[in-house]
Amino acid sequence: MIYDYTLKANDGSDFALSDYKGKVLLFVNTATRCGFTPQYKELEAIYEKYQSQGLEIIDIPCNQFMEQAPEDDQGIQQFCSLKYKTRFRRMKKADVNGENELPLYTYLKAQQKFKGFGNGLKATAMSLLLRKRDWNYKKNSDIKWNFTKFLVDRQGNVISRFEPTDSMQDLEASIQNCL
């Protein structure tokens, strides 16, 4: 269950997900130097709009995708606070795939598999990029890129996975349904 996991906050303190029972949770692996980094602005707007209704966004910076989060935890916090004025919770930088991935991500990926990037120019670009790295990328549940999002309802069920190319309006609609 989602509430069995504890993460490390960006200040090094323990962050127990059990403290968030009854909340709608959105987990996002992020990076500061990615083409999708401007999603921080949209995420903060969603957080401001729905936080009082029980939404919590949990940001997990990750440097696994072309090293697009090179700063240390303090540098990432400073960047997000100054440039995007984010107020949602930020964890320590961590891996979301591979041998050293957070156990939370092993669980999230088992609950919601990769279903594709959808349609459009960004989706096509992501598919082409990933095919160069792994021809069979569609056949595993690994996180494919920065700003992949997992939505968890108030009962702790992982109900949706949103790829970075997915519409933020669709994400917001799903959040509204959970609230």
Q: What is the CATH number of the domain that holds 155?
A: 3.40.30.10
> Residue 102 in contact with residue 7, Cβ under 8 Å?
yes
Please name the residues in contact with 24: beta carbons below 8 A apart, sequence gap of 6 or more.
Answer: 50, 54, 55, 56, 151, 152, 153, 154, 175, 178, 179
pLDDT in tens, the chain (179 residues): 999 999 999 999 999 999 999 999 999 999 999 999 999 999 999 999 999 999 999 999 999 999 999 999 999 999 999 999 999 999 999 999 999 999 999 999 999 999 999 888 998 998 998 888 888 888 999 999 999 999 999 999 999 999 999 999 999 999 999 99
Q: For residues 48 and 55, give the distance between their C-alpha atoms in angstroms, rounded to a whole number.
A: 9
Of 147, 47, 64, nearest to 102 (Cα)? 64
Q: How many residues does the chain have?
A: 179
Domains: count for the chain: 1
Q: Has this prediction a pTM greater than 0.85?
A: yes
Give the range of the structural domain holding residue 100, as residue numbers without chain letter: 2-178
**Catalytic amino acids?**
34
